[in-house]
């Protein structure tokens, strides 16, 4: 499957070549700070996820997962770790509401397994329906507790609806309490581990449906 951006047209997509590491990092920081200033509730963080955090989250996804969904990839550090871990025949669907982040992902991550979807996360059922296969893992970086309860419930319901039995729901939050507690209520289980090497330190959670 070729990489593409689904739904909203992004007129400002760029086709620049691969950037050196420091330049890419600076671009990610600048993009995240800009979008955080514009919409702090939905972005939820002023710093990209560290490589250590990104790898910790990706490690919770089974090696043999064929359909992986990432909600709120932002500038793509976790997306990159997921692609590094994913099988050659896997599909990674990155669902991002912010068109600027979609453009950045398209520019930075050239991988035939990656599909970038410029849609709200609560539309997850419609997003994955064309693939006609179960979702093995949902990875979320969304600041769920920043959202109104009605929106949070829609997103959680959509996740619960698409993840296959035995599938994984994983991601991170900056609190060890609220999101893990919510997932325990929904799935009956949630394990959390702290990752210190991140700004700020973060809690990686994983639930099994």
Residue labelled with tokens 């319901």: 157
Band of pLDDT at residue 47, cut at 50, 70 and 90: low
Mean pLDDT of 60-75: 97
The whole-number pLDDT of residue 72 equals: 96
The whole-number pLDDT of residue 29 equals: 43
Separation in Å, CA 65 to CA 2, 88, 117, 156, 167: 18, 10, 19, 21, 9
Band of pLDDT at residue 93, cut at 50, 70 and 90: very high
Give CA–CA dist 90/49, Å, rounded. Answer: 23
The whole-number pLDDT of residue 9 equals: 33
- Token pair, residue 85, equals 């871990």
For 158-192, the pLDDT digits (tens) are 999 999 999 999 999 998 999 999 999 999 999 99
Give the architecture (CATH level 2) of 40-168: 3-Layer(aba) Sandwich (3.40)
Band of pLDDT at residue 199, cut at 50, 70 and 90: confident
Give CA–CA dist 143/41, Å, rounded. Answer: 8
Residues whose CB falls within 8 Å of the CB of residue 206, separated by 6 or more in sequence, listed in order: 60, 168, 169, 170, 190, 191
Mean pLDDT for all residues in the chain: 84
DSSP 24-84: HHHHHHHHHHHHHHH-HHHH--SSPPPHHHHHHHHTTS-TT-SEEEEE--TTSHHHHHHHH
The whole-number pLDDT of residue 49 equals: 87
Residues whose CB falls within 8 Å of the CB of residue 152, separated by 6 or more in sequence, listed in order: 144, 145, 182
Nearest residue to 1 via CA among 86, 58, 64, 98 = 86
Mean pLDDT of 85-92: 98
- Token pair, residue 18, equals 């691969």
Mean pLDDT of 28-49: 51
Residue boundaries of the structural domains of the chain: 40-168
- The model carries a pTM of 0.81
Band of pLDDT at residue 38, cut at 50, 70 and 90: low
């Amino acid at each position: 499957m070729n990489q593409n951006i689904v739904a909203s047209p992004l007129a400002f997509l760029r086709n620049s070549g691969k950037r050196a590491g420091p330049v890419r990092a600076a671009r990610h920081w600048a993009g995240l700070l800009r979008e955080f200033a514009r919409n702090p509730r939905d972005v939820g963080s002023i710093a990209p996820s560290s490589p250590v955090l990104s790898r910790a989250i990706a490690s919770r996804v089974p090696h043999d997962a064929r359909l992986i969904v990432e909600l709120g990839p932002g500038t793509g550090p976790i997306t990159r770790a997921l692609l590094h871990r994913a099988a050659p025949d896997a599909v990674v669907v990155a669902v991002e509401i912010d068109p600027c982040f979609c453009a950045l992902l398209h520019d930075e991550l050239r991988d035939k397994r990656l599909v970038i979807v410029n849609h709200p996360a609560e539309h997850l059922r419609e997003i994955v329906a064309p693939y006609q296969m179960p979702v093995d893992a949902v990875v979320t970086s969304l600041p769920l507790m920043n959202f109104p309860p009605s929106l949070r419930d829609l997103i959680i319901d959509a996740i619960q609806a698409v993840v296959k039995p035995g599938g994984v729901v994983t991601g991170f939050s900056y609190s060890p309490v609220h999101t893990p507690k919510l997932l325990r209520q929904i799935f009956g289980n949630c394990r959390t581990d702290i990752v210190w090497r991140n700004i700020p330190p973060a809690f990686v959670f994983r639930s099994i449906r």
